[in-house]
Chain A
Protein backbone atom coordinates (compact mmCIF):
# COMPACT_ATOMS: atom_id res chain seq x y z
CA UNK A 1 0.00 0.00 0.00
CA UNK A 2 1.35 3.35 -1.05
CA UNK A 3 1.96 5.96 1.67
CA UNK A 4 -0.33 9.00 1.09
CA UNK A 5 1.29 12.42 0.57
CA UNK A 6 -1.55 14.04 2.49
CA UNK A 7 -3.38 12.11 5.18
CA UNK A 8 -6.15 13.97 7.00
CA UNK A 9 -8.28 12.38 9.72
CA UNK A 10 -11.05 14.02 11.76
CA UNK A 11 -9.61 17.49 11.25
CA UNK A 12 -11.53 20.27 13.00
CA UNK A 13 -10.60 23.94 12.92
CA UNK A 14 -11.91 26.99 14.70
CA UNK A 15 -11.50 30.74 14.28
CA UNK A 16 -11.88 33.33 17.02
CA UNK A 17 -11.84 33.15 20.80
CA UNK A 18 -14.45 32.73 23.52
CA UNK A 19 -17.99 33.59 22.49
CA UNK A 20 -16.90 34.51 18.97
CA UNK A 21 -15.34 31.09 18.46
CA UNK A 22 -16.65 29.62 15.25
CA UNK A 23 -15.97 26.24 13.76
CA UNK A 24 -14.93 26.40 10.10
CA UNK A 25 -13.82 22.82 9.39
CA UNK A 26 -15.90 19.87 10.53
CA UNK A 27 -14.40 16.40 10.78
CA UNK A 28 -12.53 16.54 7.48
CA UNK A 29 -11.06 13.30 6.13
CA UNK A 30 -8.92 13.21 3.01
CA UNK A 31 -6.12 11.14 1.54
CA UNK A 32 -4.11 12.23 -1.48
CA UNK A 33 -1.51 9.95 -3.02
CA UNK A 34 1.70 10.65 -4.81
CA UNK A 35 1.30 11.93 -8.39
CA UNK A 36 -2.42 12.68 -8.03
CA UNK A 37 -3.95 15.92 -9.28
CA UNK A 38 -6.88 16.75 -7.02
CA UNK A 39 -9.19 19.70 -7.53
CA UNK A 40 -11.16 21.08 -4.63
CA UNK A 41 -14.31 23.02 -5.48
CA UNK A 42 -16.92 24.69 -3.38
CA UNK A 43 -18.61 28.06 -2.77
CA UNK A 44 -16.83 31.02 -1.18
CA UNK A 45 -16.53 30.77 2.58
CA UNK A 46 -16.81 27.00 2.60
CA UNK A 47 -13.37 26.58 4.18
CA UNK A 48 -11.35 25.56 1.12
CA UNK A 49 -8.65 28.14 1.64
CA UNK A 50 -8.46 27.39 5.35
CA UNK A 51 -7.88 23.73 4.59
CA UNK A 52 -5.26 24.63 2.01
CA UNK A 53 -3.37 26.89 4.41
CA UNK A 54 -3.47 24.15 7.09
CA UNK A 55 -2.06 21.57 4.66
CA UNK A 56 0.58 24.06 3.58
CA UNK A 57 1.76 24.55 7.15
CA UNK A 58 0.89 28.26 6.96
CA UNK A 59 -1.53 27.95 9.86
CA UNK A 60 -1.26 25.75 12.94
CA UNK A 61 -3.66 22.79 12.99
CA UNK A 62 -5.76 22.57 16.15
CA UNK A 63 -7.56 19.25 16.45
CA UNK A 64 -7.43 15.94 14.62
CA UNK A 65 -4.69 14.47 12.46
CA UNK A 66 -3.01 16.22 9.58
CA UNK A 67 -0.05 14.45 8.05
CA UNK A 68 1.76 16.10 5.16
CA UNK A 69 4.85 14.48 3.61
CA UNK A 70 5.09 12.17 6.63
CA UNK A 71 5.11 15.05 9.10
CA UNK A 72 2.31 15.41 11.61
CA UNK A 73 1.35 19.10 11.50
CA UNK A 74 -1.14 19.02 14.37
CA UNK A 75 0.90 20.36 17.26
CA UNK A 76 4.00 20.84 15.11
CA UNK A 77 6.41 23.57 16.18
CA UNK A 78 7.48 26.54 14.11
CA UNK A 79 10.66 25.03 12.68
CA UNK A 80 8.84 21.83 11.70
CA UNK A 81 6.28 23.95 9.85
CA UNK A 82 9.08 25.85 8.08
CA UNK A 83 10.66 22.54 7.10
CA UNK A 84 7.41 21.28 5.56
CA UNK A 85 6.88 24.56 3.70
CA UNK A 86 10.24 24.13 2.02
CA UNK A 87 9.02 20.91 0.40
CA UNK A 88 5.82 22.44 -0.93
CA UNK A 89 5.37 24.64 -3.97
CA UNK A 90 2.73 27.35 -3.63
CA UNK A 91 0.85 29.03 -6.45
CA UNK A 92 -1.34 31.91 -5.43
CA UNK A 93 -4.35 33.62 -6.93
CA UNK A 94 -2.45 36.88 -7.07
CA UNK A 95 0.88 35.54 -8.33
CA UNK A 96 2.63 37.11 -5.25
CA UNK A 97 5.89 37.70 -7.05
CA UNK A 98 8.41 39.99 -5.39
CA UNK A 99 7.98 43.27 -7.24
CA UNK A 100 11.57 44.41 -6.83
CA UNK A 101 13.04 41.23 -8.29
CA UNK A 102 13.26 40.16 -11.92
CA UNK A 103 11.56 36.98 -13.09
CA UNK A 104 14.80 35.08 -12.74
CA UNK A 105 15.58 36.48 -9.30
CA UNK A 106 12.08 35.51 -8.14
CA UNK A 107 12.72 31.93 -9.20
CA UNK A 108 16.19 31.99 -7.60
CA UNK A 109 14.71 32.90 -4.23
CA UNK A 110 12.98 29.51 -4.25
CA UNK A 111 16.04 27.47 -5.25
CA UNK A 112 18.27 29.19 -2.72
CA UNK A 113 16.34 27.49 0.07
CA UNK A 114 18.05 24.27 -1.02
CA UNK A 115 21.34 24.24 0.82
CA UNK A 116 23.90 22.66 -1.44
CA UNK A 117 23.96 24.52 -4.73
CA UNK A 118 26.43 27.00 -6.16
CA UNK A 119 25.19 30.41 -7.33
CA UNK A 120 26.01 29.46 -10.89
CA UNK A 121 23.86 26.32 -10.69
CA UNK A 122 21.07 28.39 -9.17
CA UNK A 123 21.21 30.80 -12.10
CA UNK A 124 21.33 28.06 -14.71
CA UNK A 125 18.44 26.19 -13.13
CA UNK A 126 16.24 29.28 -12.85
CA UNK A 127 16.93 30.26 -16.45
CA UNK A 128 16.16 26.71 -17.60
CA UNK A 129 12.75 26.52 -15.92
CA UNK A 130 11.76 29.96 -17.24
CA UNK A 131 12.64 28.61 -20.67
CA UNK A 132 10.37 25.64 -19.99
CA UNK A 133 7.39 27.85 -19.10
CA UNK A 134 7.97 29.83 -22.29
CA UNK A 135 9.56 32.93 -20.78
CA UNK A 136 13.12 32.37 -21.97
CA UNK A 137 13.19 35.87 -23.45
CA UNK A 138 11.74 37.54 -20.35
CA UNK A 139 14.14 36.41 -17.61
CA UNK A 140 15.28 39.92 -16.76
CA UNK A 141 11.82 41.52 -16.78
CA UNK A 142 10.30 42.89 -13.60
CA UNK A 143 6.78 41.62 -12.76
CA UNK A 144 5.26 45.02 -13.60
CA UNK A 145 6.45 44.58 -17.20
CA UNK A 146 4.82 41.14 -17.58
CA UNK A 147 1.20 40.28 -18.46
CA UNK A 148 -1.05 38.45 -15.99
CA UNK A 149 -0.50 35.11 -17.67
CA UNK A 150 3.25 35.62 -17.83
CA UNK A 151 3.36 36.51 -14.14
CA UNK A 152 1.46 33.37 -13.26
CA UNK A 153 3.91 31.35 -15.33
CA UNK A 154 6.80 32.86 -13.37
CA UNK A 155 4.94 31.87 -10.21
CA UNK A 156 4.60 28.31 -11.52
CA UNK A 157 8.28 28.24 -12.39
CA UNK A 158 9.05 29.45 -8.87
CA UNK A 159 6.81 26.80 -7.28
CA UNK A 160 8.14 23.91 -9.35
CA UNK A 161 11.82 24.75 -9.78
CA UNK A 162 12.97 22.95 -6.66
CA UNK A 163 10.92 19.86 -7.59
CA UNK A 164 8.58 19.85 -4.59
CA UNK A 165 6.67 16.65 -3.80
CA UNK A 166 3.50 18.65 -3.31
CA UNK A 167 2.08 21.75 -5.05
CA UNK A 168 -0.76 23.73 -3.50
CA UNK A 169 -2.57 26.14 -5.81
CA UNK A 170 -5.31 28.56 -4.82
CA UNK A 171 -7.40 29.71 -7.78
CA UNK A 172 -4.38 30.06 -10.09
CA UNK A 173 -6.59 30.97 -13.05
CA UNK A 174 -8.92 33.45 -11.33
CA UNK A 175 -7.17 36.55 -12.60
CA UNK A 176 -6.59 35.23 -16.12
CA UNK A 177 -8.64 35.09 -19.32
CA UNK A 178 -9.79 31.65 -20.43
CA UNK A 179 -6.98 31.07 -22.93
CA UNK A 180 -4.13 31.96 -20.54
CA UNK A 181 -5.94 30.18 -17.71
CA UNK A 182 -6.07 27.01 -19.76
CA UNK A 183 -2.37 27.38 -20.74
CA UNK A 184 -1.33 27.87 -17.14
CA UNK A 185 -3.18 24.81 -15.89
CA UNK A 186 -1.89 22.62 -18.70
CA UNK A 187 1.62 23.80 -17.94
CA UNK A 188 1.16 22.85 -14.29
CA UNK A 189 -0.19 19.46 -15.31
CA UNK A 190 2.63 18.80 -17.73
CA UNK A 191 5.42 19.80 -15.32
CA UNK A 192 3.81 17.89 -12.48
CA UNK A 193 3.52 14.72 -14.54
CA UNK A 194 7.18 15.01 -15.55
CA UNK A 195 8.31 15.41 -11.96
CA UNK A 196 5.77 13.09 -10.35
CA UNK A 197 4.41 15.93 -8.24
CA UNK A 198 1.15 15.80 -6.33
CA UNK A 199 -1.13 18.79 -6.95
CA UNK A 200 -4.00 20.04 -4.82
CA UNK A 201 -5.79 22.81 -6.64
CA UNK A 202 -8.64 24.95 -5.32
CA UNK A 203 -10.76 26.53 -8.04
CA UNK A 204 -14.11 27.93 -9.05
CA UNK A 205 -13.21 27.62 -12.69
CA UNK A 206 -15.28 24.86 -14.34
CA UNK A 207 -13.22 25.02 -17.54
CA UNK A 208 -10.23 23.38 -15.94
CA UNK A 209 -11.86 20.54 -14.01
CA UNK A 210 -10.84 18.01 -16.66
CA UNK A 211 -7.15 18.12 -15.69
CA UNK A 212 -7.98 16.52 -12.34
CA UNK A 213 -7.67 12.86 -11.44
CA UNK A 214 -10.16 13.40 -8.66
CA UNK A 215 -12.48 16.20 -7.54
CA UNK A 216 -13.45 16.86 -3.95
CA UNK A 217 -16.22 19.25 -2.97
CA UNK A 218 -16.23 21.38 0.12
CA UNK A 219 -19.40 22.88 1.57
CA UNK A 220 -19.92 24.53 4.97
CA UNK A 221 -16.65 23.20 6.29
CA UNK A 222 -17.36 19.61 5.32
CA UNK A 223 -15.91 17.58 2.50
CA UNK A 224 -19.10 16.57 0.75
CA UNK A 225 -17.87 14.51 -2.16
CA UNK A 226 -14.89 12.44 -2.89
CA UNK A 227 -15.35 11.40 -6.49
CA UNK A 228 -13.08 9.76 -8.97
CA UNK A 229 -13.18 11.89 -12.08
CA UNK A 230 -14.08 8.92 -14.26
CA UNK A 231 -17.32 8.38 -12.35
CA UNK A 232 -18.12 12.08 -11.95
CA UNK A 233 -18.01 13.07 -15.57
Chain B
Protein backbone atom coordinates (compact mmCIF):
# COMPACT_ATOMS: atom_id res chain seq x y z
CA UNK B 1 0.00 0.00 0.00
CA UNK B 2 1.36 3.38 -1.00
CA UNK B 3 1.82 5.95 1.69
CA UNK B 4 -0.67 8.80 1.48
CA UNK B 5 -1.59 11.81 3.54
CA UNK B 6 -3.59 10.27 6.41
CA UNK B 7 -6.67 12.43 5.89
CA UNK B 8 -8.91 10.65 8.44
CA UNK B 9 -6.34 10.86 11.21
CA UNK B 10 -5.52 14.51 10.47
CA UNK B 11 -9.20 15.37 10.52
CA UNK B 12 -9.89 13.52 13.76
CA UNK B 13 -6.82 14.84 15.55
CA UNK B 14 -7.16 18.48 14.44
CA UNK B 15 -10.15 19.17 16.65
CA UNK B 16 -9.04 18.13 20.11
CA UNK B 17 -12.25 18.99 21.92
CA UNK B 18 -14.40 16.96 19.59
CA UNK B 19 -11.94 14.09 19.78
CA UNK B 20 -12.00 14.16 23.59
CA UNK B 21 -15.79 14.18 23.65
CA UNK B 22 -15.89 11.28 21.21
CA UNK B 23 -13.34 9.36 23.27
CA UNK B 24 -15.29 10.01 26.46
CA UNK B 25 -18.51 8.83 24.82
CA UNK B 26 -16.98 5.65 23.48
CA UNK B 27 -15.15 5.02 26.74
CA UNK B 28 -18.46 5.37 28.56
CA UNK B 29 -20.19 2.92 26.22
CA UNK B 30 -17.29 0.48 26.56
CA UNK B 31 -17.40 0.82 30.33
CA UNK B 32 -21.12 0.00 30.35
CA UNK B 33 -20.51 -3.08 28.23
CA UNK B 34 -17.51 -4.18 30.31
CA UNK B 35 -19.43 -3.84 33.57
CA UNK B 36 -22.52 -5.64 32.30
CA UNK B 37 -20.51 -8.47 30.76
CA UNK B 38 -18.29 -8.59 33.83
CA UNK B 39 -21.25 -8.88 36.18
CA UNK B 40 -22.78 -11.55 33.99
CA UNK B 41 -19.61 -13.64 33.99
CA UNK B 42 -19.11 -13.00 37.71
CA UNK B 43 -22.62 -14.23 38.34
CA UNK B 44 -21.94 -17.49 36.55
CA UNK B 45 -18.49 -17.76 38.05
CA UNK B 46 -19.47 -17.10 41.65
CA UNK B 47 -22.38 -19.50 41.46
CA UNK B 48 -20.18 -22.33 40.29
CA UNK B 49 -17.09 -21.85 42.45
CA UNK B 50 -18.51 -24.19 45.08
CA UNK B 51 -19.36 -26.71 42.37
CA UNK B 52 -15.90 -26.55 40.91
CA UNK B 53 -14.23 -27.10 44.27
CA UNK B 54 -16.09 -30.39 44.79
CA UNK B 55 -13.96 -33.53 44.46
CA UNK B 56 -15.76 -35.65 41.91
CA UNK B 57 -15.50 -37.03 38.41
CA UNK B 58 -19.21 -37.67 38.16
CA UNK B 59 -22.03 -36.03 40.09
CA UNK B 60 -25.41 -37.49 40.99
CA UNK B 61 -28.31 -35.14 41.68
CA UNK B 62 -32.07 -35.40 41.83
CA UNK B 63 -33.89 -34.81 38.52
CA UNK B 64 -35.63 -32.02 40.46
CA UNK B 65 -32.35 -30.20 41.09
CA UNK B 66 -32.29 -26.64 39.75
CA UNK B 67 -29.40 -24.88 41.44
CA UNK B 68 -27.22 -25.15 44.52
CA UNK B 69 -29.82 -23.67 46.86
CA UNK B 70 -32.57 -25.73 45.27
CA UNK B 71 -31.07 -29.19 44.86
CA UNK B 72 -33.86 -31.42 46.16
CA UNK B 73 -32.76 -34.93 47.25
CA UNK B 74 -32.45 -38.50 46.04
CA UNK B 75 -32.15 -41.83 47.93
CA UNK B 76 -28.74 -42.66 49.35
CA UNK B 77 -29.13 -46.25 48.12
CA UNK B 78 -28.37 -45.01 44.58
CA UNK B 79 -24.84 -44.26 45.82
CA UNK B 80 -24.42 -47.81 47.13
CA UNK B 81 -25.60 -49.11 43.77
CA UNK B 82 -23.17 -46.83 41.99
CA UNK B 83 -20.23 -48.32 43.89
CA UNK B 84 -20.95 -51.71 42.29
CA UNK B 85 -20.30 -50.44 38.78
CA UNK B 86 -16.96 -51.07 37.14
CA UNK B 87 -14.59 -48.11 37.17
CA UNK B 88 -16.16 -46.44 40.24
CA UNK B 89 -13.75 -45.84 43.09
CA UNK B 90 -16.11 -44.22 45.58
CA UNK B 91 -19.49 -42.51 45.84
CA UNK B 92 -20.06 -40.24 48.84
CA UNK B 93 -23.05 -38.13 49.84
CA UNK B 94 -23.09 -34.36 50.19
CA UNK B 95 -25.87 -32.56 52.03
CA UNK B 96 -26.94 -29.00 51.31
CA UNK B 97 -29.53 -26.71 52.83
CA UNK B 98 -30.11 -22.96 53.09
CA UNK B 99 -31.29 -21.49 56.35
CA UNK B 100 -31.12 -18.42 58.54
CA UNK B 101 -28.48 -18.07 61.17
CA UNK B 102 -27.60 -15.28 63.54
CA UNK B 103 -24.74 -13.22 62.16
CA UNK B 104 -22.17 -13.36 64.99
CA UNK B 105 -21.37 -9.65 64.82
CA UNK B 106 -24.84 -8.16 64.58
CA UNK B 107 -27.03 -10.94 66.01
CA UNK B 108 -29.35 -10.40 63.03
CA UNK B 109 -30.78 -13.19 60.91
CA UNK B 110 -29.18 -13.85 57.56
CA UNK B 111 -29.40 -16.70 55.06
CA UNK B 112 -26.44 -19.02 54.60
CA UNK B 113 -25.85 -22.16 52.61
CA UNK B 114 -24.75 -25.13 54.73
CA UNK B 115 -22.87 -27.98 53.06
CA UNK B 116 -21.97 -31.19 54.85
CA UNK B 117 -20.14 -34.45 54.19
CA UNK B 118 -18.52 -37.32 56.05
CA UNK B 119 -15.33 -35.75 57.46
CA UNK B 120 -13.28 -38.93 57.04
CA UNK B 121 -12.29 -37.53 53.65
CA UNK B 122 -12.67 -33.98 52.39
CA UNK B 123 -15.31 -33.58 49.70
CA UNK B 124 -13.82 -30.23 48.69
CA UNK B 125 -10.44 -29.37 47.28
CA UNK B 126 -10.25 -26.29 49.51
CA UNK B 127 -7.19 -25.93 51.74
CA UNK B 128 -9.26 -24.42 54.59
CA UNK B 129 -11.50 -27.47 54.62
CA UNK B 130 -8.77 -30.08 54.24
CA UNK B 131 -6.76 -28.66 57.15
CA UNK B 132 -9.75 -28.42 59.49
CA UNK B 133 -11.35 -31.82 58.95
CA UNK B 134 -10.69 -32.80 62.57
CA UNK B 135 -12.47 -29.73 63.92
CA UNK B 136 -15.78 -30.42 62.18
CA UNK B 137 -15.74 -33.91 63.61
CA UNK B 138 -16.54 -32.19 66.92
CA UNK B 139 -20.24 -31.66 67.63
CA UNK B 140 -21.82 -28.38 66.47
CA UNK B 141 -18.62 -27.12 64.95
CA UNK B 142 -18.61 -25.34 61.58
CA UNK B 143 -16.20 -23.78 59.09
CA UNK B 144 -17.00 -20.35 57.70
CA UNK B 145 -16.49 -18.89 54.24
CA UNK B 146 -14.20 -15.88 54.56
CA UNK B 147 -15.54 -14.60 51.21
CA UNK B 148 -19.10 -14.29 52.55
CA UNK B 149 -20.97 -11.07 51.88
CA UNK B 150 -22.16 -9.06 54.88
CA UNK B 151 -20.85 -7.77 58.19
CA UNK B 152 -18.35 -10.45 58.97
CA UNK B 153 -15.11 -8.47 59.12
CA UNK B 154 -14.68 -8.78 62.91
CA UNK B 155 -15.73 -12.43 62.82
CA UNK B 156 -13.17 -13.20 60.16
CA UNK B 157 -10.47 -11.23 61.99
CA UNK B 158 -11.10 -13.21 65.17
CA UNK B 159 -11.13 -16.52 63.32
CA UNK B 160 -7.85 -15.64 61.67
CA UNK B 161 -6.35 -15.21 65.14
CA UNK B 162 -7.46 -18.80 65.86
CA UNK B 163 -10.25 -17.67 68.21
CA UNK B 164 -13.49 -19.61 67.78
CA UNK B 165 -16.84 -17.85 67.70
CA UNK B 166 -20.21 -18.88 69.03
CA UNK B 167 -23.55 -18.08 67.51
CA UNK B 168 -27.02 -19.56 67.04
CA UNK B 169 -28.40 -21.68 64.29
CA UNK B 170 -32.13 -22.49 64.61
CA UNK B 171 -32.06 -22.54 68.41
CA UNK B 172 -28.81 -24.45 68.59
CA UNK B 173 -25.63 -22.95 69.82
CA UNK B 174 -22.89 -23.59 67.29
CA UNK B 175 -19.19 -22.91 67.17
CA UNK B 176 -17.32 -21.48 64.18
CA UNK B 177 -13.78 -22.73 64.26
CA UNK B 178 -12.00 -22.26 60.94
CA UNK B 179 -12.10 -20.50 57.61
CA UNK B 180 -12.18 -21.54 53.98
CA UNK B 181 -12.56 -19.33 50.94
CA UNK B 182 -15.13 -19.75 48.19
CA UNK B 183 -16.91 -16.41 48.13
CA UNK B 184 -20.45 -15.13 48.08
CA UNK B 185 -22.71 -15.86 45.15
CA UNK B 186 -26.01 -14.49 43.96
CA UNK B 187 -27.68 -17.56 45.46
CA UNK B 188 -26.06 -17.42 48.89
CA UNK B 189 -24.51 -14.53 50.79
CA UNK B 190 -22.40 -16.90 52.84
CA UNK B 191 -21.36 -20.53 53.12
CA UNK B 192 -20.80 -22.89 56.05
CA UNK B 193 -19.21 -26.33 55.86
CA UNK B 194 -19.57 -29.02 58.50
CA UNK B 195 -19.87 -32.77 59.03
CA UNK B 196 -22.92 -34.79 58.02
CA UNK B 197 -23.75 -35.42 61.68
CA UNK B 198 -23.68 -31.74 62.61
CA UNK B 199 -25.83 -31.04 59.55
CA UNK B 200 -28.49 -33.48 60.73
CA UNK B 201 -28.41 -31.92 64.22
CA UNK B 202 -29.32 -28.44 62.96
CA UNK B 203 -31.72 -29.70 60.31
CA UNK B 204 -33.79 -32.33 62.15
CA UNK B 205 -36.21 -32.54 59.22
CA UNK B 206 -33.43 -33.95 56.98
CA UNK B 207 -32.31 -37.60 57.13
CA UNK B 208 -29.02 -39.19 56.17
CA UNK B 209 -30.85 -41.33 53.61
CA UNK B 210 -31.83 -38.29 51.55
CA UNK B 211 -28.79 -37.01 49.71
CA UNK B 212 -28.46 -33.63 47.97
CA UNK B 213 -25.45 -34.42 45.82
CA UNK B 214 -23.58 -37.66 45.19
CA UNK B 215 -19.87 -37.24 44.53
CA UNK B 216 -18.53 -40.12 42.44
CA UNK B 217 -14.80 -40.65 42.10
CA UNK B 218 -13.60 -42.94 39.33
CA UNK B 219 -10.65 -45.31 39.29
CA UNK B 220 -7.64 -43.92 37.46
CA UNK B 221 -7.85 -44.50 33.72
CA UNK B 222 -11.65 -44.64 33.54
CA UNK B 223 -13.41 -42.46 31.02
CA UNK B 224 -16.00 -40.26 32.81
CA UNK B 225 -18.24 -40.05 29.71
CA UNK B 226 -18.29 -43.80 29.33
CA UNK B 227 -18.98 -44.57 33.01
CA UNK B 228 -21.66 -41.85 33.05
CA UNK B 229 -23.40 -43.56 30.14
CA UNK B 230 -23.28 -46.91 31.94
CA UNK B 231 -24.60 -45.36 35.16
CA UNK B 232 -27.43 -43.61 33.34
CA UNK B 233 -28.51 -46.90 31.84
CA UNK B 234 -28.07 -48.84 35.09
CA UNK B 235 -29.64 -46.52 37.70
CA UNK B 236 -33.33 -45.82 38.02
CA UNK B 237 -34.56 -42.48 36.78
CA UNK B 238 -34.98 -40.87 40.22
CA UNK B 239 -31.38 -39.70 39.87
CA UNK B 240 -29.47 -37.70 37.25
CA UNK B 241 -25.90 -38.60 36.27
CA UNK B 242 -23.72 -35.67 35.24
CA UNK B 243 -20.04 -35.22 34.60
CA UNK B 244 -18.42 -32.60 36.79
CA UNK B 245 -18.39 -30.10 33.90
CA UNK B 246 -22.04 -30.77 33.12
CA UNK B 247 -22.86 -30.14 36.77
CA UNK B 248 -21.13 -26.74 36.60
CA UNK B 249 -22.78 -26.02 33.26
CA UNK B 250 -26.26 -26.88 34.60
CA UNK B 251 -25.85 -24.26 37.30
CA UNK B 252 -24.75 -21.65 34.77
CA UNK B 253 -27.62 -22.50 32.44
CA UNK B 254 -30.02 -22.16 35.35
CA UNK B 255 -28.95 -18.59 36.07
CA UNK B 256 -28.85 -17.76 32.39
CA UNK B 257 -32.32 -19.08 31.57
CA UNK B 258 -34.47 -19.47 34.63
CA UNK B 259 -33.86 -16.06 36.09
CA UNK B 260 -34.08 -12.63 34.47
CA UNK B 261 -30.49 -11.97 35.56
CA UNK B 262 -28.86 -13.20 32.36
CA UNK B 263 -31.40 -11.27 30.29
CA UNK B 264 -30.90 -8.10 32.31
CA UNK B 265 -27.15 -8.14 31.79
CA UNK B 266 -27.49 -8.88 28.08
CA UNK B 267 -29.92 -5.98 27.86
CA UNK B 268 -27.46 -3.78 29.75
CA UNK B 269 -24.72 -4.72 27.28
CA UNK B 270 -27.06 -3.96 24.37
CA UNK B 271 -27.91 -0.56 25.89
CA UNK B 272 -24.22 0.24 26.22
CA UNK B 273 -23.82 -0.67 22.56
CA UNK B 274 -26.73 1.52 21.46
CA UNK B 275 -25.50 4.45 23.57
CA UNK B 276 -22.14 4.08 21.82
CA UNK B 277 -23.73 4.01 18.36
CA UNK B 278 -25.72 7.17 19.11
CA UNK B 279 -22.69 9.05 20.48
CA UNK B 280 -20.34 8.04 17.65
CA UNK B 281 -23.07 8.78 15.10
CA UNK B 282 -23.55 12.28 16.53
CA UNK B 283 -19.83 12.94 16.42
CA UNK B 284 -19.31 11.57 12.92
CA UNK B 285 -22.43 13.24 11.55
CA UNK B 286 -21.46 16.69 12.78
CA UNK B 287 -17.91 16.05 11.61
CA UNK B 288 -19.08 15.18 8.09
CA UNK B 289 -21.50 18.14 8.09
CA UNK B 290 -18.77 20.56 9.13
CA UNK B 291 -16.48 19.35 6.40
CA UNK B 292 -19.07 19.02 3.67
CA UNK B 293 -17.64 21.82 1.51
CA UNK B 294 -14.17 20.38 1.92
CA UNK B 295 -15.38 16.95 0.83
CA UNK B 296 -17.06 18.61 -2.16
CA UNK B 297 -13.73 20.24 -3.00
CA UNK B 298 -12.02 16.86 -2.88
CA UNK B 299 -14.71 15.46 -5.18
CA UNK B 300 -14.13 18.37 -7.58
CA UNK B 301 -10.41 17.64 -7.58
CA UNK B 302 -11.20 14.13 -8.78
CA UNK B 303 -11.48 12.06 -5.60
CA UNK B 304 -14.09 9.33 -5.89
CA UNK B 305 -16.99 8.78 -3.51
CA UNK B 306 -15.40 5.56 -2.34
CA UNK B 307 -12.36 7.48 -1.11
CA UNK B 308 -14.53 9.71 1.09
CA UNK B 309 -16.45 6.69 2.39
CA UNK B 310 -13.09 5.24 3.30
CA UNK B 311 -12.19 8.41 5.19
CA UNK B 312 -15.38 8.27 7.27
CA UNK B 313 -14.81 4.56 8.02
CA UNK B 314 -11.21 5.20 8.99
CA UNK B 315 -12.37 7.96 11.32
CA UNK B 316 -14.83 5.51 12.87
CA UNK B 317 -12.08 2.96 13.45
CA UNK B 318 -9.67 5.55 14.84
CA UNK B 319 -12.35 6.71 17.27
CA UNK B 320 -13.10 3.10 18.23
CA UNK B 321 -9.46 2.43 19.09
CA UNK B 322 -8.88 5.74 20.87
CA UNK B 323 -12.09 5.37 22.87
CA UNK B 324 -11.47 1.75 23.77
CA UNK B 325 -8.18 2.46 25.55
CA UNK B 326 -9.61 4.70 28.31
CA UNK B 327 -12.77 2.56 28.40
CA UNK B 328 -10.66 -0.50 29.11
CA UNK B 329 -8.51 1.25 31.72
CA UNK B 330 -11.50 2.66 33.61
CA UNK B 331 -13.22 -0.73 33.52
CA UNK B 332 -10.20 -2.49 35.03
CA UNK B 333 -10.32 0.09 37.85
CA UNK B 334 -14.06 -0.38 38.35
CA UNK B 335 -13.63 -4.16 38.43
CA UNK B 336 -11.16 -3.70 41.27
CA UNK B 337 -13.54 -1.41 43.15
CA UNK B 338 -16.44 -3.80 42.70
CA UNK B 339 -14.30 -6.75 43.74
CA UNK B 340 -13.36 -5.16 47.02
CA UNK B 341 -16.91 -3.94 47.67
CA UNK B 342 -18.82 -7.13 46.83
CA UNK B 343 -16.40 -10.09 46.82
CA UNK B 344 -17.72 -10.90 43.35
CA UNK B 345 -15.03 -12.49 41.17
CA UNK B 346 -14.88 -9.62 38.68
CA UNK B 347 -11.72 -9.86 36.59
CA UNK B 348 -10.73 -8.56 33.16
CA UNK B 349 -10.33 -11.49 30.81
CA UNK B 350 -8.67 -11.46 27.41
CA UNK B 351 -11.77 -12.93 25.79
CA UNK B 352 -13.99 -10.19 27.20
CA UNK B 353 -11.52 -7.46 26.23
CA UNK B 354 -11.44 -8.80 22.67
CA UNK B 355 -15.21 -9.12 22.43
CA UNK B 356 -15.81 -5.59 23.76
CA UNK B 357 -13.17 -4.29 21.35
CA UNK B 358 -14.91 -6.03 18.45
CA UNK B 359 -18.26 -4.63 19.61
CA UNK B 360 -16.68 -1.16 19.73
CA UNK B 361 -15.45 -1.51 16.15
CA UNK B 362 -18.85 -2.74 15.01
CA UNK B 363 -20.49 0.08 16.98
CA UNK B 364 -18.32 2.70 15.27
CA UNK B 365 -18.72 1.17 11.82
CA UNK B 366 -22.50 1.08 12.27
CA UNK B 367 -22.48 4.78 13.20
CA UNK B 368 -20.17 5.48 10.26
CA UNK B 369 -22.60 3.71 7.97
CA UNK B 370 -25.47 5.95 9.12
CA UNK B 371 -23.34 9.11 9.02
CA UNK B 372 -22.15 8.29 5.51
CA UNK B 373 -25.56 9.06 4.06
CA UNK B 374 -24.75 12.69 4.75
CA UNK B 375 -21.80 12.42 2.34
CA UNK B 376 -24.16 12.37 -0.63
CA UNK B 377 -24.95 15.99 0.18
CA UNK B 378 -21.38 16.88 -0.78
CA UNK B 379 -22.04 18.09 -4.34
CA UNK B 380 -19.02 19.42 -6.24
CA UNK B 381 -21.36 21.55 -8.38
CA UNK B 382 -22.10 23.70 -5.33
CA UNK B 383 -18.57 24.86 -4.69
CA UNK B 384 -18.14 27.38 -7.51
Contact = CB atoms under 8 A, between A and B. Distances in A.
Contacts of B3: 118-119
Interface in A64-107: 79, 82-83, 85-87, 90, 92-93, 96, 98-101, 105
Contact of A96 (B14, B293, B302, B303): B293
Contact of A58 (B2, B4, B383): B383
A79 B302 CA distance: 9
Contact of A92 (B4, B15, B383): B383
A109 B7 contact: yes
23 contacts: A52-B384, A53-B381, A58-B380, A82-B302, A82-B304, A85-B380, A86-B302, A87-B302, A92-B297, A92-B383, A93-B384, A96-B293, A96-B297, A99-B294, A100-B11, A101-B5, A101-B7, A108-B5, A110-B301, A113-B301, A118-B3, A119-B2, A119-B4
- Counting chain A residues whose Cβ lies within 8 A of the other chain, the interface size class is 20 to 34
Q: Which 4 A-B pairs have the closest CB atoms?
A: A86-B302, A100-B14, A119-B3, A85-B302
B300 interface: yes
Contacts of B380: 53, 58, 85
Contacts of A110: 301
B10 interface: yes
A81 B78 CA distance: 84
Interface in B1-47: 2-5, 7, 10-11, 14-15
Interface of B: 2-5, 7, 10-11, 14-15, 291, 293-294, 297-304, 380-381, 383-384
A85 B384 contact: no
Contacts of B301: 85-86, 90, 109-110, 113
Interface of A: 49, 52-53, 56, 58-59, 79, 82-83, 85-87, 90, 92-93, 96, 98-101, 105, 108-110, 112-113, 118-119, 170
Nearest to B2: A119
Contacts of A100: 10-11, 14-15, 291
A105 B302 contact: no
Contacts of B7: 101, 109
Contacts of A170: 384
A87 B302 CA distance: 8
A48 B298 CA distance: 22
Contacts of A83: 302
B5 A90 contact: no
